[in-house]
Amino acid sequence: MNRAAAAKWLKQALHDLDMAGRNVGIGGYDTAAFLAHQSVEKLLKALLAAQGRTTPKMHFIDELAEQLDLPAAVRVHIDGLTADYMLSRYPDVSDLVPYEQYDLALANEKVRAARSVFALLKERYADLLPEGTE
């Protein structure tokens, strides 16, 4: 992977984070949780690509965080999002179907966790942002 690939991963990660927040606003709480997870997954893959490493075809953000040797302050937020890849989409993972599993408070918590990951890792990806972007 190279810088261009890393920038693409990051661009999609930022879009997913934005869409996660928007879904909270329209009551798509399960979708917000899923997109919060996806935004972090793609951010971590951007960081791997920026290091010239292979982006694994997996969705375990806790394992991606381990590969990147991220600090505990970041991992605590990632740990809170890890299960949402499955829980937010599949009705056989819990007693409830996904859209019943999430409410406004929980969806907001998931989006806040994802935003925290982005904020805590900003120094690691800032050089991948297009000029004039923050």
Give, in degrees to the nearest 5, the angle at Cα 13 between 80 and 133: 120
Give the tens place of pLDDT for each residue, 39-95: 999 999 999 999 999 899 999 999 999 999 999 999 999 999 999 999 999 999 999
Q: Torsions phi, psi of 98, nearest 5?
A: -55, -45
Domains with residue ranges and CATH for the chain: 3-126 (1.20.120.330)
H or E element at residue 109: helix 104-125
The contacts of residue 9 (CB under 8 Å, 6+ apart) are 42, 43, 45, 46, 49, 55
Under the banding of pLDDT at 50, 70 and 90, the label for residue 134 is low
Q: What is the pLDDT of residue 45?
A: 98
Judge if pTM exceeds 0.75: yes
The span from the CA of 75 to the CA of 12, in Å, is: 21
